[in-house]
């Protein structure tokens, strides 16, 4: 009779543990990892578009070599960046990754400004297709970053609040806060409009 009672108590305890959030930390950690993979996927898509875009622009705007070089160098820096395994919990590595991606985005923005000076280029079908793909990719990057930010918020909140904090200390002591994107410094500046 006591062994039957013991088995019943053990079963109830295990069922109680399953419903009290013991699996939240690994589940949320997997969501962060999946969201991050999507961010990387979209950044890779953008980096893959750059050589085609540069080659189309190069034919029309050969004397804009400085801008073209900046785009190629920024892309090369992004491609050569070695991402450590702990990137999502390593503030320095995460900031370096973000800085490299911002540099590429900035160089692409300068390239698109240069393109405005070349009406023939703006009418070129290859360029229009690449520009549309780049705009779509930038939108996908924004969505992927938003999803990642939300996943990190949920994960970091879980390991810092009750009962997740208890599960972290008991079972997931290796769980670390994940890094999140921060706004670019230029985003805080008010754009100047001149008429």
3-state secondary structure 25-53: HHHHHHHHHHHHHHHHHHHHHHHHHHHHH
Provide block-wise average pLDDT over 10 residues at a time, the chain (195 residues). 72 59 93 96 94 86 82 92 92 93 92 84 85 94 96 97 93 95 68 49
CA distance 156 to 175: 10
Q: d(Cα 110, Cα 116) in Å, to the nearest integer?
A: 10
- CA pair distance 42, 163, nearest whole angstrom: 35
| Number of CB atoms found within 10 A of residue 68's CB | 21
DSSP calls for 108-146:
HHHHHHHHTT-HHHHH-HHHHHHHHHHHHHHHHHHHHHH
């Amino acid at each position: 009779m006591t062994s039957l009672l013991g088995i019943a108590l053990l079963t109830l305890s295990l069922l109680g543990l399953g419903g009290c959030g013991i699996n939240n930390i690994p589940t949320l950690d997997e969501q962060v990892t999946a969201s991050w993979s999507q961010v990387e996927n979209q950044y890779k898509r953008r980096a893959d578009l750059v050589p085609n875009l540069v080659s189309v622009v190069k034919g029309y705007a050969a004397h804009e070599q400085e801008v073209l070089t900046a785009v190629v160098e920024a892309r090369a820096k992004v491609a050569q960046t070695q991402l450590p395994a702990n990137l999502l919990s390593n503030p320095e590595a995460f900031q370096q990754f973000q800085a490299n991606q911002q540099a590429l985005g900035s160089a692409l923005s300068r390239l698109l400004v240069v393109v405005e000076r070349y009406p023939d280029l703006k009418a070129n079908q290859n360029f229009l297709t690449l520009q549309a793909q780049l705009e779509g990719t930038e939108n996908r990057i924004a969505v992927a970053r938003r999803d990642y930010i939300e996943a990190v918020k949920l994960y970091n909140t879980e390991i810092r609040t009750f009962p997740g904090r208890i599960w972290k200390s008991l079972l997931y002591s290796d769980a670390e806060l994940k890094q999140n994107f921060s706004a670019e410094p230029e985003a805080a500046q008010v754009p100047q409009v001149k008429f």
